[in-house]
Amino acid sequence: MSVPKQQFTAEFKQEAVRLVRTTGKSCAQIARDLGVPPHYVVRWKQQQDTQTASGRPAFTGRGIPALSPQEARLKELERELEIARQERDILKKALACLGQNSTRMGLGRFFAKQP
């Protein structure tokens, strides 16, 4: 029988790291006091140090990497660009279909490129 995975809130993790920094106790002692495995507190402290050093918020949860505002904006713009490219490609295909159909129907002169 498997043990369900423990999940902790961002506030709990931040409080555990704050306790390590302010009380002078070791990560293992804080972990025992909180009733969590010691390697959790060590990992949370390392994650917070890494995220703080890079200017990102820590403990976003569920394995989702925290993005800085610039990275989030870049990701949003890349998504918009991909949508615009897809729309452009659809319009190109539609125009090509219209051009083929118009020549079959004798409307080629309307869709012919003007010099």
Cβ burial 64-103 (10 Å sphere, 16+ → b, else e): eebeeeeeeeeeeeeeeeeeeeeeeeeeeeeeeeeeeeee
Nearest to 25 by CA among 11, 53, 45, 9: 45
pLDDT, position 74: 92
| Distance between CA atoms of residues 21 and 89, nearest Å | 55
**What proportion of the chain, given as a percentage, has pLDDT over 90?**
18
Local confidence band at 13 (pLDDT 50, 70, 90 cut-offs): confident
pLDDT tens for 46-102 read: 888 887 776 666 665 555 666 777 888 999 999 999 999 999 999 998 888 887 766
Average pLDDT, the chain: 80
pLDDT, position 63: 57
pLDDT tens for 19-49 read: 998 988 888 999 999 899 989 999 988 888 8
pLDDT, position 85: 95
pLDDT, position 106: 57
- 87 and 79 Cβ atoms separated by less than 8 Å: no
